[in-house]
């Protein structure tokens, strides 16, 4: 609110100064003319023409206005849904418009008076001094009369500006004034004469700038090849950094075509979204590449690179040329082949799934040593950080391969969801990110059906993960209003990615795959080369349903899920009467109800959702087919199938819904009994779901603490990976909460008792590394790994001895015979149990290893030491030396904090180095919030809570969402100890052995 008031105050002050030039114009003197009939007729015709032209102009401008307004999230709905949510948004803009409509450069959004059609961009790139100069010609259409051309620029030195009209008169239009307005990163050119609607104009701007060291805009990075440092320059424009490379209308709604040419020394090569159309060499060793004109696209998807990489190539059946560019040594060793291979298959997959062809003649994948994100889906030139695209099959673990695969699947999906159809504005960024994240699982299932990602891994990696975050009172709705440029970075968070994906999955399951696919196809076909908002998608889905005679208003349902924060817990309880009825109620799930009461925005607010609840009833010998019940009231009564005292109820079948389910205690006992006697009666997904729900419900105080502990007694019967994975995630969480308490061994011994039978049964993986994971179901190996990890970290002696002997063997033979898939467990266990020499050995290996995946595992192992001195040394080295890659520094600090001995060390280090960390990572808020939550989430004493609050005050971090979350989590941790710790240990003291 404060920001808004301040900008309005400035606005009024400036309006006086500008009133003369912008508003007041001299009037032409009226002249009397002699009237005759012919003139009257002529006059009438011209008036008529004028009216027709004006009418057309108004119609056109209105429709453009409408989409611009929609895009700002202001007039969001086409007559649909809840007016309550929209009111405040409406109020906002009209207020602003009247206040500083005269100074459009002060707004977050560009004035919608002009619309770009084509950019002709020529750049000369000077790698020897990291500068570039450019000339851009923007052809644009005037929508509303205006004298002002407002373009985005940032860090550019503008030299010359010329404006031309399309009228026959040659020569430039007179410019009255031009200036840069830094607070909103715009460059304003004010003309003497007004530009007129429906007319085409051109602006020509010459400029120069630096190729920055910071990883945004047009930036440089380097790598070492044969002992020689080599440089490359590449772009990262999303979300708002195209303006750092050329003046432009830098908002997603202003789609245009682009013709790019790049001039550089011929020792380099250049790439852009499109193929090179013509290349001209000059005598002095310079070359200019002219790239073909792009389709209509948003500025933030434009990209280019100047480097001396080499490539491998593949061609799809439709003739699309795919090239993977990387360091020559990586290409030579074949590290890029895997990504290239799956990309080729994925292009075909998405074309078939969406029934929309890939739009460009080529797709380049560029592996760069440094990048602010894992990857960026620029159209036809996707950029990846090396760790997310290069794979050395001999040393990479399965999880590394899986992560890399998911990143590639994600970026290729964006070529449709993002590049081809772009969200109108950043508040709906989840539309593209949620989809791409959801499709990671669908696409991976296509590549490797045995991975079973959508049905299984999605649950633990997406659903359970994001419900942790979204169960906080400091969470936020997935569609976030964006008022300031700084808000734009903030919307790229896990809520957008993971909750987006979870909601889309829920919807896909309710609709059924054929209808879901039809709706998507319709959406892409209607909006291709354009922009769309969430309502456009919901409308297509509703239409697809209606054509099948299913009358569900998707907008109405989904607005509840996207405009409200959080999610419900659905409580199902059997009624005592004999009418086979159940009572179903819903309430907003929060871990700490106090936090909700303390939050003025939430206090007294009761959220309600329209919940598609899939419900089944079962007993020891039979489970019914599920029925879908739409729950939209606080409490409802429903009749289900026949029930008796031994019948259990199971909600959220296969955990397709984005909510938790609670039951009466009797039902929990029946479910646990079922798991103990015959777990396979309940699906794998539901077994994992029950585990996640039961632990989190107990954590938040909805259930007694012994219920989750009783449930995991069944684990020795469990032979599937996913429920084990869900359990180990929950157990590690709990372990971090308890690991500094006196009775901790009661807990770890209890866990070990559940794990050991399985551990002894499965044993260790075979020593040979044969990369067979691509052919077999990964679950078998992953289950073995998961159980090993639990055994080693909770203190199984056999597991420890094995790890130690592997490390000793490695040191004495200098041959690493540790299976790649469990190296992280072995290294970490070895470092924590063995002496300093082992730490030094791993540290040395970290330096000498060239495989990126192995390097990361070695580095993380160093954080497992129980030697405070070594942990301290590692923290200092990682921040101050060049030895640790930038993106890994944060992981080092977080991992030290996960080590109970390093917990306070990491927390103190984080506070001491806050200024350095903040200046280094501040821009990429996504990483920053990962760091903040990483170092604070396991703090759980009153003293640590106070330290946190004090630190936030002194560092000025009050407004950062990550800090609000951190306080709430630590507060809930402290509260859990006060309320439940005793009860928890009391039960463990007399626990059955299992």
Name the phi and psi angles at 423, rounded to 5.
-55, 140
Which helix (DSSP H) or strand (DSSP E) does residue 200 occupy?
Answer: strand 200-210
Q: Residue 513 Cβ, how far from Zn ion at the closest point, in Å?
A: 23
Residue 385 token pair: 């950080």
Residue nearest to Zn ion (CB): 436
Q: Which CB sits closer to Zn ion, 377 or 947?
A: 377
- Range list of H helices, 101-197: none
Quickly count helices (H) and strands (E) in the chain: 33, 29
Burial of residue 14, with CB atoms counted within 10 A of its CB: 0-12 exposed, 13-18 middle, 19 or more buried: middle
Contact 722, 460 (CB under 8 A): yes
Q: How many binding residues for Zn ion (CB under 5 A)?
A: 2
Q: Which CB sits closer to Zn ion, 433 or 720?
A: 433
Secondary structure (DSSP) of 18-46: HHHHHT--PPPPP------HHHHHHHHHH
Q: Interface residues for Zn ion in 377-436 (CB under 5 A)?
A: 433, 436
Q: Residue 436 Cβ, how far from Zn ion at the closest point, in Å?
A: 4
Q: Which CB sits closer to Zn ion, 241 or 687?
A: 241
* Interhelix angle 684-699/721-738, nearest 10 degrees: 10
* CA-to-CA separations, 980 to 735, 986, 989, in angstroms, rounded: 14, 10, 14
Q: Residue 410 Cβ, how far from Zn ion at the closest point, in Å?
A: 6
Q: Which CB sits closer to Zn ion, 500 or 830?
A: 500
* Distance of alpha carbon 677 from alpha carbon 168, whole angstroms: 87
Q: Which CB sits closer to Zn ion, 373 or 451?
A: 373
Single out the residue of 644, 482, 565, 376 nearest to residue 108, CA to CA.
482
Q: Which CB sits closer to Zn ion, 498 or 588?
A: 498
Q: Which CB sits closer to Zn ion, 436 or 905?
A: 436
Q: Residue 414 Cβ, how far from Zn ion at the closest point, in Å?
A: 5
Q: Residue 407 Cβ, how far from Zn ion at the closest point, in Å?
A: 9
Single out the residue of 401, 257, 504 nearest to residue 778, CA to CA.
401
What is the DSSP code (8-state) at residue 765? P
Which helix (DSSP H) or strand (DSSP E) does residue 823 occupy?
Answer: helix 823-833
Q: Which CB sits closer to Zn ion, 242 or 436?
A: 436
> What x-and-dash track marks residues 425-464 binding Zn ion by CB under 5 A?
--------x--x----------------------------
Residue 251 token pair: 């908002």
Catalytic residue (one of 411, 720, 782, 968): 411
Contact 387, 856 (CB under 8 A): yes
Q: Residue 350 Cβ, how far from Zn ion at the closest point, in Å?
A: 14
Q: Does 375 bind Zn ion (CB under 5 A)?
A: no
Secondary structure (DSSP) of 74-122: SS--SS-S-HHHHHHHHHHHHHHHHHHTT-GGGSSSPPTTEEEEEEEEE
Q: Is the omega angle on the peptide bond into residue 239 within 30 degrees of 0, that is, cis?
A: yes
Q: Residue 408 Cβ, how far from Zn ion at the closest point, in Å?
A: 12
Contact 256, 119 (CB under 8 A): yes
Q: Residue 923 Cβ, how far from Zn ion at the closest point, in Å?
A: 18
Q: Residue 433 Cβ, how far from Zn ion at the closest point, in Å?
A: 5
Q: Which CB sits closer to Zn ion, 123 or 429?
A: 429
Secondary structure (DSSP) of 576-641: SSSS-EEEEEEEE--S-HHHHHH-TTTTT------EEEEEEEEETTEEPPPEEEEE-SSEEEEE-S
Q: Which CB sits closer to Zn ion, 207 or 458?
A: 458
Q: Residue 537 Cβ, how far from Zn ion at the closest point, in Å?
A: 17
Single out the residue of 625, 662, 660, 622 nearest to residue 644, CA to CA.
622
* Distance of alpha carbon 604 from alpha carbon 598, whole angstroms: 10
Q: Cα torsion for 975, 977, 727, 819, to the nearest 10°?
A: 110
Contact 724, 712 (CB under 8 A): no
Q: Interface residues for Zn ion in 569-588 (CB under 5 A)?
A: none
Q: Which CB sits closer to Zn ion, 365 or 643?
A: 365
Q: Cα torsion for 956, 960, 966, 968, to the nearest 10°?
A: 100
Going along 455-610, which residue ranges are E strands? 530-532, 568-574, 581-588
Q: Is the dihedral of CA 590, 593, 594, 599 positive or negative?
A: positive
Q: Residue 465 Cβ, how far from Zn ion at the closest point, in Å?
A: 16
Q: Which CB sits closer to Zn ion, 150 or 436?
A: 436
Q: Which CB sits closer to Zn ion, 440 or 692?
A: 440
Q: Residue 222 Cβ, how far from Zn ion at the closest point, in Å?
A: 26
Single out the residue of 880, 836, 830, 834 nearest to residue 860, CA to CA.
830
Q: Interface residues for Zn ion in 850-889 (CB under 5 A)?
A: none
Single out the residue of 416, 661, 662 nearest to residue 537, CA to CA.
416
Strands 635-639 vs 581-588: parallel, antiparallel or unpaired: antiparallel
Q: Residue 742 Cβ, how far from Zn ion at the closest point, in Å?
A: 46
Which helix (DSSP H) or strand (DSSP E) does residue 197 occupy?
Answer: none
Q: Is the dihedral of CA 936, 942, 943, 948 positive or negative?
A: positive
- Establish whether 265 is a catalytic residue: no
Q: Which residues bind Zn ion (CB under 5 A)?
A: 433, 436
- As annotated, the active-site residues are 411
């Amino acid at each position: 609110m404060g920001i808004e008031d301040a900008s309005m105050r400035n606005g009024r002050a400036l309006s006086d100064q500008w009133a003369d030039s912008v508003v007041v114009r001299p009037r032409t003197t009226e002249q009397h003319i002699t009237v005759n009939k012919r003139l009257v007729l002529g006059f009438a015709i011209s008036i008529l023409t004028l009216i027709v032209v004006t009418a057309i102009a108004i119609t056109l401008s209105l429709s453009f206005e409408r989409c611009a307004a929609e895009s700002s999230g202001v007039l969001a709905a086409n007559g649909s849904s809840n007016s309550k949510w929209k009111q405040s948004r409406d109020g906002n803009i009209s207020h602003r418009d009247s206040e500083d409509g005269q100074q459009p450069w002060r707004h977050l959004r560009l004035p919608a008076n002009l619309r770009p059609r084509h950019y002709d961009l020529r750049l000369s790139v000077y790698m020897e001094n990291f500068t570039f100069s450019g000339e851009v010609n923007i052809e644009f259409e005037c929508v509303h009369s205006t004298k002002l051309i407002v373009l985005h620029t940032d860090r550019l030195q503008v030299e010359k500006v010329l404006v031309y009209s399309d009228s026959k008169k040659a020569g430039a239009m007179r410019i009255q004034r031009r200036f840069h307005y830094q607070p909103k990163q715009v460059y304003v050119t004010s003309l003497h004469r007004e530009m007129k609607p429906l007319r085409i104009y051109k602006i020509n701007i010459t400029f120069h700038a630096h190729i920055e060291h910071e990883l945004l805009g047009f930036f440089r990075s380097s790598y070492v090849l044969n002992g020689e440092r080599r440089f490359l320059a590449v772009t990262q424009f999303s979300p708002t950094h195209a303006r750092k490379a050329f003046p432009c209308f830098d908002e997603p709604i202003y789609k245009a075509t682009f013709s790019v040419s790049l001039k550089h020394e011929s020792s380099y090569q250049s790439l852009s979204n499109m193929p090179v159309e013509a290349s001209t060499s000059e005598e002095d060793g310079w070359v200019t590449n002219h790239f073909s004109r792009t389709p209509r696209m948003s500025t933030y998807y434009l990209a280019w690179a100047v480097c001396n990489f080499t490539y491998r190539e593949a061609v799809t059946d439709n003739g699309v040329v795919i090239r993977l560019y990387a360091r020559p040594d990586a290409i030579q060793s074949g590290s890029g082949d895997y990504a290239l291979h799956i990309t080729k298959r994925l292009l075909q997959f998405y074309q078939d799934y969406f029934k929309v062809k890939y739009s460009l003649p080529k797709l380049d994948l560029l592996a760069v040593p440094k990048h602010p994100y894992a990857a960026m889906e620029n159209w036809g030139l996707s950029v990846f950080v090396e760790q997310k695209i290069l794979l050395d099959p001999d040393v990479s673990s399965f999880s590394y391969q899986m992560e890399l695969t998911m990143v590639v699947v994600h970026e290729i999906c964006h070529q449709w969801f993002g590049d081809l159809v772009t969200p109108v504005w950043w508040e709906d960024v989840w539309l593209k990110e949620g989809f791409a994240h959801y499709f990671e699982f669908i696409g991976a299932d296509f590549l490797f059906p045995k991975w079973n990602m959508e049905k299984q891994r999605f649950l633990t990696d997406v659903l359970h993960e994001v419900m942790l975050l979204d169960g906080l009172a400091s969470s936020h709705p997935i569609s976030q209003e964006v008022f300031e440029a700084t808000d734009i970075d903030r919307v790229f968070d896990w809520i957008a990615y993971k909750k987006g994906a979870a909601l889309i999955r829920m919807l896909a399951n309710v609709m059924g795959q054929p209808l879901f696919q039809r709706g998507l196809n319709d959406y892409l076909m209607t909006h291709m080369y354009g922009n769309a908002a969430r309502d456009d998608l919901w409308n297509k889905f509703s239409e697809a349903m209606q054509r099948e005679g299913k009358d569900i208003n998707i907008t109405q349902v989904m607005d509840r899920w996207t405009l409200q924060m959080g999610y419900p817990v659905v409580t199902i309880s059997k009624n005592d009467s004999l009418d086979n009825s159940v009572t179903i109620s819903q309430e907003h799930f929060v871990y700490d109800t106090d936090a909700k009461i303390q939050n003025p925005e939430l206090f007294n607010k009761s959220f309600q959702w329209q919940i598609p609840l899939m419900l089944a009833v079962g007993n020891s010998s039979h489970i019914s087919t599920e029925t879908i019940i739409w729950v939209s009231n606080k409490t409802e009564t429903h009749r289900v199938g026949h029930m008796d005292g031994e019948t259990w109820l199971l909600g959220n079948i296969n955990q397709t819904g984005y909510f938790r389910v609670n039951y009466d205690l009797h039902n929990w006992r029946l479910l646990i009994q079922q798991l103990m006697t015959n777990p396979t009666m309940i699906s794998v997904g539901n077994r994992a779901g029950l585990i996640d729900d039961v632990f989190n419900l107990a954590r938040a105080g909805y259930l007694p603490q012994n219920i989750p502990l009783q449930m995991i007694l069944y684990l020795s019967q469990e032979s599937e990976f996913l429920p084990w994975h869900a359990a180990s995630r929950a157990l590690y969480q709990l372990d971090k909460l308890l690991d500094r308490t006196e009775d901790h061994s009661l807990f770890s011994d209890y866990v070990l008792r559940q794990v050991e039978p399985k551990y002894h049964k499965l044993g260790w993986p075979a020593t040979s590394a044969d990369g067979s994971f691509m052919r077999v179901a990964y679950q078998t190996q992953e289950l073995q790994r998961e159980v090993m990890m639990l055994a080693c970290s909770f203190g199984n002696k056999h597991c420890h001895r094995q790890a130690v002997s592997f490390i000793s063997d490695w040191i004495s033979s200098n041959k690493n015979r540790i299976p790649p898939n469990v190296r992280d467990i072995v290294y970490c266990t070895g470092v924590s149990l063995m002496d300093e020499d082992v730490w030094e050995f791993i540290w040395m290996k970290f330096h000498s290893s060239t495989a990126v995946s192995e390097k990361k595992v070695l580095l993380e192992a160093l954080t497992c030491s129980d030697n405070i001195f070594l942990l301290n040394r590692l923290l200092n080295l990682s921040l101050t030396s060049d030895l640790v890659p930038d993106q890994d520094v944060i992981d080092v600090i977080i991992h030290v904090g996960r080590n109970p001995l390093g917990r306070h060390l990491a927390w103190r280090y984080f506070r001491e180095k806050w200024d350095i960390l903040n200046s280094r990572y501040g821009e990429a808020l996504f990483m920053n919030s990962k760091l903040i939550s990483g170092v604070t989430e396991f703090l759980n004493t009153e003293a640590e809570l106070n330290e946190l609050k004090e630190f936030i005050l002194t560092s000025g971090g009050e407004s950062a969402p990550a800090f609000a979350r951190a306080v709430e989590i630590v507060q809930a941790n402290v509260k859990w100890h006060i309320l439940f710790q005793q009860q928890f240990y009391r039960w463990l003291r007399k626990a059955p052995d299992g």
